[in-house]
């Protein structure tokens, strides 16, 4: 990555057809850091992320989405979701190089091969998503996200469909390869937030709460006592009706 | 399938024998088979014409239907202007247009090709268009964030994602296209299986009529199987496991 990643600031309140969804709030995603966003379902976590990505046409945001360097978010963000967006008719390389083709550029095949290798997918490079496991598919999605090489990365519950072991592995892979980028990660898994977040926040109907993350460096070990304790606190907080 | 065919033939023969039907009302399967063999050169010659009409109609219908569906999906203005016209056109019984087509395009191949085309155009366009309008949202989101132009989004994501819909339109078309060609031949032709059937009927050669009908049915069946297999191969390995 060439440019320094800027911080992402979402400031305002959102409503759908006049019905308030969340806010007013101010969410600051620190530059070059991973911020995990938790919250009860239906509170608008994904909406917040989609607003940042410029995708939501239904929700009205009264406020601003800005970056610390003043340049727009558009064109500087990559999106990674649960993996339903892999193209089933394209092989791994085809999926990883999709962005360039969608922009009419010539894909950088050497770089794509390198990223595919870093994801441990070299042996699967010519396979289509249908022939891959859930974990492998998410590595393809991560490879595609890295291929975009954007300073801001928006993750929408990217690992939620995986089994616990694969999920832990993907969390470590994600932290390693997303380092230095400004990452906003929506998750419903308190453990994931406790392991991956430089910062952890909970979105509720009334606003945004900041939770102190564990002291250890990310990705925090799965058996780190403080990480487990934070997970417990987060879960207890999420279960309280807001 | 073989047992089913044997049963059908048995029932047919039983009906002829038990009801004491004369061959000029309903010939038995044996007699039809005999006629099929005796008149094979004649039937084959006419079948060749019908096959050509159907295949050309099918290819043109697939191309025109495909292009129309993409055009409609790409342009809201086209949807507003043209879609109501297309739906309204379906209220006109296509069969009623057959005499007009003969008047405009003559007795040759083209009036039959046009008839086959008219019959399959709507199902192909409609199936493909519906699929084009149902691109999975996550793929559209991805394309949007990646900065795709509408044209490239169409070409790299929406069209390939909609090909299964196009394929089901083509499977329907394979069954409908022969109907169109036969109607065209009935209204005005000097060649083709439909023409041969009318001719045989008029001369009380019911065995020849049945022989031609069976050839037509077998052709339609083979065409459907062929299109189905081609579509399967074409879309092979795309299922998300």
Dump pLDDT digits (tens) for A31-85.
Answer: 999 999 999 888 888 889 999 998 988 888 888 899 999 888 888 999 998 777 8
| Same-domain check for residues A4 and A25 | yes
Across the interface, do A130 and B157 touch by the CB < 8 Å criterion? no
- Chain A: give the shortest CA distance to residue B132, in Å: 15
- List chain A residues with CB under 8 Å of B235: 89
- Residues A30 and A125 occupy one common structural domain: no
Indicate which CATH number applies to the domain containing A190: 3.40.50.300
Q: Which domain holds residue B223?
A: 29-234
The shortest C-alpha distance from A59 to chain B (Å) reads: 15
Same domain, A138 and A44: no
Same domain, A161 and A60: yes
Maximum Cα–Cα distance for chain A, whole Å?
Answer: 51
Distance from C-alpha of A90 to C-alpha of A74, rounded to nearest angstrom: 26
Query: Cα–Cα distance between B52 and B238 in angstroms, integer?
Result: 32
Residue B19 in any domain: the answer is no
Contact A53 B147 (CB under 8 A): no
Indicate whether B99 belongs to any domain: yes
Q: Smallest Cβ distance to B147: which of A81, A103, A128?
A: A103
Contact A103 B238 (CB under 8 A): no
Q: What is the pLDDT averaged over residues A85-101?
A: 94
Q: What is the DSSP letter of B176?
A: H
Domain boundary among A106, A132, A149: A149
- Looking at the domain assignment, is residue B92 inside a domain? yes
In a domain, B67, yes or no: yes
Count of CB atoms situated within 10 Å of the CB of B202 = 9
Residues in a beta bridge with A19: A16
Regarding whether A178 and A60 lie in a shared domain, the answer is: yes
In chain B, residues with a C-beta closer than 8 Å to the C-beta of A131 are 237, 241
Instruction: Report if residue B14 sits inside a domain.
Output: no
* Lookup result for tokens 């509170």: A43
pLDDT at A2 over 80: no
The residue of chain A with its CA nearest to that of B143 is: A102
Tell me the CB-side half-sphere exposure of residue B8, using CA atoms within 13 A: 6
Report the domain count for chain B.
1
Contact A64, A25 (CB under 8 A): no
Question: Are A157 and A240 in the same domain?
Answer: yes
Choosing from A132, A149, A166, the residue where a domain stops is A149
How does pLDDT run across A179-188, given as a tens digit for each residue? 999 999 999 9
- What is the model's pLDDT at position B237? 59
Nearest to B152 among A54, A102, A128 (CB): A102
The last residue of one of the domains, among A114, A131, A149, is: A149
Full domain range(s) for residue A160: 1-76+151-242
Q: Which residues make Cβ contacts (< 8 Å) with residue A121, sequence separation at least 6?
A: A92, A136, A139, A140, A143
Helix/strand/coil for B111:
helix
A interface test, pick of B134, B136, B144, B146 with most A CB neighbours within 10 Å:
B146
* Residue of A81, A99, A130 lying closest to B146 (CB–CB): A99
What total number of domains does chain A contain?
Answer: 2
CA–CA separation, B159 and B145 (whole Å): 19
Alpha carbon distances (Å) from B26 to B197, B203, B212: 14, 14, 14
pLDDT at residue A3, rounded to an integer: 61
> Is B142 close to A81, i.e. CB distance below 8 A?
yes
Q: Flag whether the ipTM exceeds 0.90.
A: no
Digitized pLDDT (tens) for each residue of chain B, 241 residues in all:
889 989 999 999 999 999 988 888 889 998 999 999 999 999 999 999 999 999 999 999 999 999 999 999 999 999 999 988 888 888 888 888 889 999 999 889 999 999 999 999 999 999 999 999 999 999 999 999 999 999 999 999 999 999 999 999 999 999 999 999 999 999 988 899 999 999 999 998 999 999 999 999 999 999 999 999 999 888 875 654 3
Residue A97 distance to chain B (closest CA, Å): 11
Are A240 and A162 part of one and the same domain? yes
Shortest Cα distance from A21 to chain B (angstroms)? 21
Instruction: Assess whether A140 and A179 both reside in one domain.
Output: no
Of B138, B153, B241, the CB nearest to A81: B138
Share of chain A above pLDDT 90, in %: 72
Residues A161 and A125 in one domain: no
CA distance A132 to chain B (A): 8
When CB atoms are compared, the residue of B147, B160, B237 closest to A102 is B147
CATH of the domain at B110: 1.10.3720.10
> Are residue A155 and residue A72 in the same domain, yes or no?
yes
pLDDT, tens only, A189-233: 999 999 999 999 999 888 899 999 999 999 999 999 999 999 999
- What is the pTM (predicted TM-score) of this model? 0.86
Q: Which of B178, B167, B70 is nearest to B124 (CA)?
A: B167
Residue B167 lies in a domain: yes
How far does CA B53 lie from the centroid of its chain?
11
Same domain, A45 and A95: no
């Amino acid at each position: 990555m060439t440019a320094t990643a800027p911080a992402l600031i979402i400031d305002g309140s959102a409503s759908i057809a006049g019905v308030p969804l969340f806010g007013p709030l101010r969410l600051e995603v620190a530059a070059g850091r991973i911020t995990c966003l938790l919250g009860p379902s239906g509170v608008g976590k994904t909406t917040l992320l989609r607003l940042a990505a410029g995708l939501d046409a239904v929700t009205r945001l009264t406020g601003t989405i800005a970056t610390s360097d003043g340049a727009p978010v558009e064109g500087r963000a990559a999106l990674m979701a649960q993996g339903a967006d892999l193209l089933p008719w394209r092989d791994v390389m085809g999926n990883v190089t999709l962005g360039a083709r969608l922009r009419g550029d010539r894909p950088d095949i050497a770089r794509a091969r390198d990223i595919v290798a870093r994801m441990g997918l070299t042996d699967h490079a010519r396979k289509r998503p249908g022939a891959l496991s859930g974990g492998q598919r998410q590595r393809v999605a991560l490879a595609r996200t890295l291929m975009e090489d954007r300073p801001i990365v928006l993750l929408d519950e990217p690992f939620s469909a995986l089994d616990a072991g694969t999920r832990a592995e993907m969390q470590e892979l994600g932290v390693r390869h997303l380092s230095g980028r400004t990452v906003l990660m929506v998750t419903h898994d308190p453990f994931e937030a406790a392991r991956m977040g430089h910062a952890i926040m909970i979105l509720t109907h009334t606003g945004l709460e900041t939770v102190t993350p564990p002291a250890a460096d990310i990705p925090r070990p799965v058996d780190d006592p403080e990480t487990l304790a934070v997970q417990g606190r987060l879960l207890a907080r999420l279960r309280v009706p807001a | 399938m073989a047992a089913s065919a044997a049963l059908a033939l048995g029932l047919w023969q039983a009906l002829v024998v038990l009801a004491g039907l004369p061959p000029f009302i309903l010939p038995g399967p044996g007699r039809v088979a005999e006629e099929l063999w005796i008149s094979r050169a004649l039937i084959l010659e006419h079948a060749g014409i019908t096959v050509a009409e159907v295949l050309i109609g099918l290819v043109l219908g697939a191309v025109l239907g495909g292009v129309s569906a993409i055009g409609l999906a790409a342009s809201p203005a086209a949807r507003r202007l043209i879609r109501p016209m297309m739906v309204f056109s379906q209220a006109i019984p296509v069969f009623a247009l057959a005499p007009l087509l003969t008047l405009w395009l003559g007795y040759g191949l083209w009036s039959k090709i046009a008839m086959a085309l008219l019959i399959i155009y709507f199902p192909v366009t409609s199936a493909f268009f519906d699929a084009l309008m149902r691109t999975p949202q996550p793929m559209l989101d991805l394309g949007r964030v990646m900065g795709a132009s509408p044209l490239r989004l169409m070409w790299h994501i929406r069209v390939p994602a909609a090909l299964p819909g196009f394929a089901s339109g083509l499977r329907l078309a394979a069954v409908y296209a022969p109907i169109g060609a036969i109607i065209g031949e009935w209204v005005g032709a000097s060649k083709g299986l439909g023409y041969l059937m009318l001719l045989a009927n008029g001369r009380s050669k019911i065995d020849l009529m049945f022989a031609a009908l069976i050839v037509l049915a077998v052709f339609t069946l083979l065409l459907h199987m062929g299109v189905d297999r081609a579509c399967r191969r074409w879309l092979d390995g795309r299922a998300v496991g």
